[in-house]
Structure 1
């Protein structure tokens, strides 16, 4: 089956003819059951299909500590606090973390309760004067 011009971007990104994913906080909530807080500032969301044809959401935003921890502690997530200040390089690369001067961070991860193939990862980064939340949610292919 050939892709129409309207679906070309989805096909090129591994979407297999599926429509583009909404790059909105509502899209994140519907896909990953992660609620972007109303207090979120500097919101950046990217959504695409992987080369394997599975959906992925990734993004970041700034907010206060309480709202960051509410996002991080969504149902089905395990929270791990890290007193050290260096976010591991592989985590930085995977989530696009560029913050310098990190004074601490928290990692939360878990599957969506009703969709065990959906992996969710959240990293809350504390730096002087700011709290930035990075997130990634991705479907695992069947059989993995």
Structure 2
């Protein structure tokens, strides 16, 4: 399968797991340890903690009125063999089918036995929720 098709398929599965609030499947799409650079400091999270974090995020999104997440792959580049960068646009849709929040995420993925996220830059999401007056 061509590189761009692989990454498109990966994020199709990623957004599907997100939409189903399937923290187990979502966390399996990450490396054993995920890296999270943020404006306030960088941290790492093992997969099991990330799974629990996902479950917490699902509750946060529901509390903000999100009923359906949408994600669209904007770009994907293979930086080195088995290393990719992807940019995804997210729209968190409410019950009235209007966006509750929108942002872009940047991901760095590595291919070992399959593609997995190694690192994400979530500054856009953090800014989107802050602009709405809530802390992520």
User: Shared fold (TM-score greater than 0.5)?
Assistant: no
Higher-Rg structure is 1
More strand by share: 2
TM-score by length of 1: 0.30
TM-score by length of 2: 0.31
More helix by share: 2
